[in-house]
Amino acid sequence: MSLTPAVAAVARVAHLASDALVDSPSPFSPYWKSLPRNSLQQPSLSVTALPRGADPSPALLAHTTASLLSYTAASSPALVRLLPHLPELASRPVVFHLAAQGDLADALVLRAAVPYFIHSSTPQQAHDNALLASRLARTERKAVIHVFHVGEEGDKVDEVAEEKVKPFLFAEKRPRTLSKATGRPLSPIPSRPQSPAPRPYSPSPNRPYSPVPKHANGNGNGHANGHARKGSELDGRHSPRSATPVTPTFTVPIDPATAELLDGYESAALSTLALVRRSQRALVQRGSTEPHTVIFGLGQTALDFADVAGVAYVDVSLLSPLPASRILGALRPSVRHVIVLEQVRKWTTKWTPFFLDVVGVLQHRDAEDRPTVRSAYLGDTRGLQPDDLATFLEAATTSKPSARTQLGAPFVSATATPEVPHVPRHESSYTRILDHLFGDRLEVSNAPALVATQGELATSPEFALGRVRGALEERAELVKAVQELLRDPKLPPETHALLSQWVLAKDDPAKGERLGADVVAALEPGFPHPAAARVLALRAHFKVPSRWIIGSDAWSYDLGASGLHHAIASGLDVNVLILDTLPYTARNTADPARRKHDVGLYAMNHGDVYVASVAVYASYAQVLQALVEADRFAGPSVVLAYLPYASEEDTTALDLLKETKLAVDAGYWPLYRWDPSKEAAGAEPFALDSDAVKHDLQAFLDRQNHLSQLVRAGPLLPAELVSSLGETLRAERKRRAQQAYAELLTGVDAPPLLVLYASDGGAAEKKAKRLAGRAQARGLATTLATLDSITLDALANEEHVLFVTSTAGQGEPPQNGRAFFRMLNAAAAAASGATPLARLKYAVFAMGDSHYWPRPEDAHYYNRPGRELDAKLAALGGTRLADAGLGDDQDADGAETAYKAWEPRVWAALGVAGVAVREAEPEAITNEHIKAASGFLRGTIAEGLADARSGALAPADTQLTKFHGIYQQDDRDVRDAREAQGAEPAYAFMIRVRLPGGVCAPAQWLAMDRIADEHGAGHFKITTRQTFQFHGVIKRHLKPAIQGINRALLDTLAACGDVNRNVLCSAIPTLSTLHAQVYAFAKAVSEHLLPRTTAYHEIWLDKKLVAGEAIKDHEPLYGEFYLPRKYKIAVAVPPTNDVDVFANDVGFIAIVDAHGALAGFNVTAGGGMGVTHGNKKTYPRTGSMLGFVVPEQGAAVAEKIMLVQRDNGNRVDRKNARLKYTIDRMGLDAFKRAVEEQLGFTFAPARAYAFERNIDDFGWQTGADGRHHFTCFIENGRVQDEPGRAFKTALRAIARVHRGEFRLTANQHLVISGVETGEVPYGLDNLDFSGLRLASSACVAFPTCGLAMAESERYLPLLIDKVEKICEEHGLRNDSIVMRMTGCPNGCARPYLAEVAFVGKAPGVYLMLLGGGYHGQRLNKIYRESVSEPEILAILRPMIKRYALERHAGERFGDWVIRAGYIAPTTEGMAWYEGMGGEGPHREILAAA
C-alpha cells in the first residue's frame, strides 16, 4: 500500500527519536525501505526488520540498553503475542506506534498491560503525539502505546524540523508551574494565555437536535483538520466545575502511582506544546457549553459535533492512565445522556473497557443526578449528512441502555480479501528444485496461493500440518473403503483384480495413480455398494503426493517452532523444508535462541525422523539427493536449507554464493543426511557431505594417527643414553659462541631494529628482507616479521621500527597486514588525545602505482596504506625517523627510485650512516634458479606430499608443480575467517589436464566426472585452453586424482609451466575430414614438444628410476632451465577463429586446397595476452605473420620458434619474458631469419584466408560424413548442476550412451560430436540465450585464483543480465557482441581481443576496454581505467542505443565504436597505450591531465 502522510510523519519521528527500532511488516515498512541504507545503518540507530508473522517480543527484549526503543506495526490480531512480555517491557523506554485501519480492538487489547496508552484521531495529532510519546517514554522510562489512524493520501501534516527533535527529547523534564491566581498550569509559550478556567454550566432542553453551521469552511472549530480546536481542554485531576448552591462538587481521589504517571504525561505534553505550538490534552471537549448529551469519542470521524445544539463531543487522547475525575470533569450538571462512541466492533465481551470506565465514574454521582450511559459503534462517517447524525442521536438517547447503536457504515477491513504473501525470489532456488523433482506430485501444504481462499493462517506450518493430517486421514478412509469393497463377493473379477493391485501398489507414485484412474473408470458406471460411493468421493487420494511444508521467515513464520515440533512428534508422512536466511557474516547479531541449524540435532534425537542439512549454492547434487530421500522416507522428514540473504533487493546471487561458501567451509552450516531407515537395514544412517569438514576431520585423524605411530616407533629416551659426552660439549661450545657473537653485535651503540612488512605479491617482502640485511650489515640487531605478527601493545614497547608495505586492491592493505591495520584504526579512533606509542621511533616506506587510479577522484588510493600508517602512528604519539617514502611503479626504476632516497635518511636517523659496509647481498632466488636446481622438475614435491602437517607445499615446489599441471591455491572467500581462527589458509590445488585439440572419448568424460566428485569440488571446468580443469583438490587427493587421469589415458604433464602448453585446435564440427587432419597435427605437435623428464611418472605414478641415479634425465629441447615463460600454440581453420589464433605464441592457420583437403598452414608468432597494471613495458600483442609451410614442416616450425625463444627470451624479468617481447626486441625480420636458420629453409609467402568470427557455432549441425554435432552452451565452462542447468548430470547420462566423441572448445563450451542419425537426443537444445551471453567468456578469478583482484566468472553472468536488458530494449537480443572479463590483467579469457572487455583492478573495479575485432584479429584499447557496475551501465546504455540506430549493415560493435569515435584502433601491441582513455568528446579526464 502507499505511504500516507500520517504514517510517514510517525515513522519519521520514530526514526529521529530512537536508538533502536523494530518493525513488523506494516504500513510503516515502505518508509523504512525508502530510506537510504546509510541512514538506517548509522551507529546511533539499530533497525531490525522482522519477517512476516514473526513474534516481535524477542527482538524488543533484546534491546536492553537503548535509551529509546520504538516498535512500528499495524493494529492487527498478531499484537496479542506481545501480551506475555508486556509486563517486562512496561518498565522500559519503549514506544509502540500502531497504525490502525478501521477497528481499534486489536490495539486496545494491550491497554491494561502498559502505563501509557495514547490515541490520535487526526494525522496532525498523530505526528504531535508521536513526539509526545517518544519524550514521555524517554523521560519516564516506561512503555507507551500510541495508536493512530492510517488516514488518506491527501492529508496535511505540519512536521517539526529535524534539528529540533533531539534537543526536545533530551531536554530536562519540565516541572508543572501553576498560576498563583487560578491554580492552573501556565502555558510554556510566553505569548500564549494559560489554560482556560472552567465555566459554570446550566441545564439545557433535551430537544430539538438541529445542527446549525457556524463556519464557512465547514469545520465547527474554524480550523483545518487536526489543528487548534475551539473548546474546553480538560486536564485537571479533580473535577474543575465551580461549586454552586444547587450543584454539588464531585471530587474523586486518585492513587499516588496514577498521579505520578499523570504528572509525567503533563510534563511531556507541555514540552511538546513548546515545540509544536499546538496543545496536547488528555481530553478535548468541543460543542455545546450547556450540553444535555455528552459523547466520548474514541476513533476517527469526519463529523463536526460542535454544530449540534445541546451536544458536546469529547475526543479521548489519553486512555491510560485515565482517572475518574477526568471523565467526571466532562460531565456538567446539565448532562442527561452519555454516549460512549468507540471504533471497536469485534470486542469479545459485550461491554468495552472504556465504556465500563465511564460507567464506573458515574457511580460517584448521586443516583438522581446520574445520566444514562449507552454504548455505540463509530463506523465510517464519510459521506454522512446532518440528518444521519440527528437520527443517530435520537436512536441513541431513546433506545434501551443495553442496546448498542451505530453511527456510520461498518469499516471494510483492509484484510477482507487476504493479501497473498510475497515470496522472495531467492527462495525459488529451492521451490524450483522441488517442482523439478516431483512435478505434478508436489503439494506445498502451506503454499501462499492458499491464502486467497483459506485466509492468512493458510501459510502457517501449524495450519498446514492440520491440512496434511486431514488428507492422510481421508486417504486412510479410502484404503478402508477399498478393502471393504474387496470383501464383497459380488464384485466383478476385473474390478477385484484392479483394487487388489492398487492396494499392493498404493504407495508407489506412478503405479498408484495409474491404477487409481483405472479403479475410478471401473466403478463410475455404478456398483451397488456404499463403499463404492465413498471410493469415488475420495478419488483425489489415489494420487500419491509429495507433501511439503515450507518454513520461511518471509511468509510462513513458525511461531515458537510449534509447527515443527508437532510435525516431528506426529509421525505423519510429511516433509518440512526449513529455510535459514541468516548470512554467515551476520551470525553473531542474531538471536542465539533461534539458531535454525540446531533443529537438526533436535530432530535426530527424536530417532524416527529423516534429517538433512543442505545448501543449494554449495552442493546442488546433495540437495537433490536429500530431497529425494526425504520424499521416500516413511515418516516425518526435516530438511534444513541454507539460503543466506539480508534483503531481496540488495542480495545478489554472488552474495548468496559467498555467504554459503563461508558458512559451509567454516563448518557453521555442515552438509549432512540422517536416515534412520538405514540403521534398521544395518547401514550407517549418518552421511557427512561437507567436503571442508570431512577434509579437516580427516587431516585431524591423520595427524593423530601419525603422532600415535611416532610414539610407538620412537619413544623418548634420556639424552645421556643416546649421545656421548663429547657431542654434548661441542654443542654447548657452539651455542655459547653464537650467543657471544649475537651479544657483540648488540653491543654496538646503534639501537636494535624491528622491520615489519605487509606484502601480497612479494615485492614489499623482498624490499623488507633487503632492508633488514643491510641493517644487520651496519651492526644493528635486526628482527624481521610481518605486520600481522605484532600487536599494538608489543609495538608500544619497541623503540625503532621500520615499516614496508605495498598497496592492494582499492587502496587496501595487503593480506598479511590487515589485522594490524584494523587494530591501528581502532586505536586511533579511541585514542582521544592519548599517545600509547610515545616511545616509538619509526619510518614508513610505501609501494604503489600512481597510474593505477588515474581519475582525480581516485587519486587518494595511491599508496594509501603507507600514508595512513604513517599518519596514524604519528597521531598515536610515534616519532618519525624520516618522512615516509612513496615508491611509485611509474618512476624510472619503479619503487627503487624513491627507496634509494629514503634509505640513507633512515641510516642517518639511526646513527649508522657512517658505518663502512661492503654490501654483498645474496642474489634473489628466481624461477630460473628453482628450475635449474629442481632435478628436472622434481624439487621436494614428493617429500611435500608426504608432509601431513600442512595442506600446502613448499613455495619453490609450487613453482615446479605448474609443470606437472598443478597450481596451489587457497579459498579466498574464507581466508580472513580462517586467519581469525588461527588456521592456515584453506589450501587446495587446481589440476589441469593436457588434452591436445580438446577431443576426448565418452569414457574419458565419465572418468573426469568421477574424479571431480571423488577428489575435487564436485564440478569441473572447461578452460580457454580447451581442456579440463579441477578445483578444490586437497593435497592428499592430488596423487589419486592424477593417477585416475592417467588411467583414463590422459595426463597433466606440461599443462602449465614454462613449456609448451595444451595445443588448441578448431572444433569445426561440419568439416569432419579436415578436423581429423588438423586434430592429428595438433596432437603430433603436442607430443613432439612434450618434456622428457621422468619426474612426472616418478612422483605421481610411482614409477622409480632404474639403477639408482645411474641413468639421468635429459631434456633435448628444453634443457635444465626450460623456457623463459609459457609457450602456447593454436591451430585455426578459417572461417572460424574459435581458438583466437592471434593470441598465441605460435598460430597455425589452416589453408585448404581446391578439393577441401589440408594444404598447409600460414604461421603467426608473437601473440600473447598478459599485462601488468600500470607497467607500460607490458602489453598484449597479436601474432605476426611469418609465412606458409606444408603440414609436414609444422612440428619443426613450432620447435624452432620455441628454441629461438629459449635462447633469446628475457630470463631476468618474467614480466617481459614472453615471445612477443622477444620478437619486438629483436625485430620481426631478425627473429624470422633466426627461425629460418634453425629450420634450414625459408617460409613461403602467406596464402589468402578469411576469418568471419571467433565465437562458437551453437546448436545442431551435420558434418560432411553425415554425422550430427551439437554445440552446447556452458556458461564460462563450469560443468556443474544448478537449478535449471543440470549440465553435469545430463552430460554424464549422455556420455554413458554416446558412441562418438566430445570436443571442448576454446570458448569454454562443448561439442557433442559424431552422433548417428538414429541417435539424435532431442530436447537437448539449451540455446535460449541472448547473443551477448553466447559470446561471453570469463576466467575463474575468485575464490580460487591467487592472482585475482576482482570477481570474474561469478560476476559476469550477473552483469550480462543487466546489459542484455539494454540490448533487448534496442532490438539487439540476437546480435552477437563479444564481451569478456578477467579478474586480473594476465588475460586468461583473452579479454584484449574482445569487443567489450573488463579487467579486474580491485573488488568491484575494472578496466573497461573497447574496439576489439569480432574475428579476433584486432586488439581493443583501454577506454576507462576505473569503472564499477553503475558506471559500466551508464556508459553502455547510450552506446548500445547509438549502435542499434547508427550501425551499417553487418557492422560489428567493435568496428562501430571506432567509427563512432569512442576509441582509436590498436595497430600493434606496442601502440596499445596510445590513445587510451577514449577519443574526442568521449575522452576520460585523467589525474595526470
Catalytic residue among 778, 992, 1200, 1218: 992
Q: Is 1388 annotated as catalytic?
A: yes
Per-residue pLDDT, 1203? 96
Per-residue pLDDT, 1393? 96
Cβ neighbors of 222 (< 8 A, separation 6 or more) are: 214, 215, 230
Cβ neighbors of 445 (< 8 A, separation 6 or more) are: 464, 465, 467, 468, 547, 548, 549, 574
Q: Is 1339 annotated as catalytic?
A: yes
For residue 396, give the amino acid letter. Answer: A
For 1066-1103, the DSSP string reads ---TT-HHHHHHHHHHHHHHHHHT----SHHHHHHH--
Per-residue pLDDT, 976? 79
**Alpha carbon distance 251, 364 (integer Å):** 9
* Four-CA torsion 1405, 1410, 1414, 1416, nearest 10 degrees: -70
- End-to-end distance of the chain based on CA atoms, in angstroms? 52
Compute CA distances 877 → 205, 263, 697, 794, whole Å.
87, 53, 47, 15
Q: 798 by DSSP, 3-state: which?
A: coil
Catalytic residue among 778, 864, 1128, 1232: 1128
Per-residue pLDDT, 737? 63
Q: Nearest-CA neighbor of 548 among 427, 668, 653?
A: 427
Catalytic residue among 404, 1367, 1388, 1418: 1388
Per-residue pLDDT, 176? 57
Q: Which residues pair with 1343 in a beta bridge?
A: none
**Alpha carbon distance 515, 525 (integer Å):** 17
Q: Is 1128 annotated as catalytic?
A: yes
Q: Which residues pair with 22 in a beta bridge?
A: 48, 71
**Alpha carbon distance 1008, 994 (integer Å):** 12
Compute CA distances 764 → 755, 805, 871, 1313, whole Å.
12, 6, 20, 51
**Alpha carbon distance 1106, 1098 (integer Å):** 11
Catalytic residue among 1345, 1380, 1421, 1452: 1345
Q: Is 992 annotated as catalytic?
A: yes
pLDDT in tens, 645-687: 877 777 888 888 888 988 888 888 899 999 999 888 888 888 8
Per-residue pLDDT, 1131? 97
Per-residue pLDDT, 657? 86
Q: Is 1056 annotated as catalytic?
A: no
Cell numbers 469526519 correspond to 302
Catalytic residue among 1125, 1126, 1333, 1354: 1126
Cβ neighbors of 254 (< 8 A, separation 6 or more) are: 237, 262, 323, 324, 325
Q: In the structure grid, which three cell numbers stand for residue 539, read together?
A: 478419488
**Alpha carbon distance 1079, 1070 (integer Å):** 14
pLDDT in tens, 600-653: 888 888 888 999 999 998 888 899 999 999 999 999 999 999 999 877 777 888
Q: Is 1384 annotated as catalytic?
A: yes
Catalytic residue among 1339, 1354, 1367, 1390: 1339
Whether 1309 contacts 1329, CB under 8 Å: no
- Summarize the chain as % helix, strand, coil (round to 5): 40, 15, 40
Per-residue pLDDT, 133? 96
**Alpha carbon distance 569, 588 (integer Å):** 31
**Alpha carbon distance 300, 283 (integer Å):** 15
**Alpha carbon distance 505, 516 (integer Å):** 10
Q: Cα 1278 to chain center, whole Å?
A: 21
Catalytic residue among 547, 1061, 1206, 1288: 1061
Low-confidence ranges of the chain (pLDDT < 70): 1, 36-44, 53, 174-253, 323, 412-418, 557-563, 589-595, 597, 692-751, 918-924, 1104-1112, 1318-1327, 1484-1489
Catalytic residue among 1056, 1065, 1367, 1384: 1384
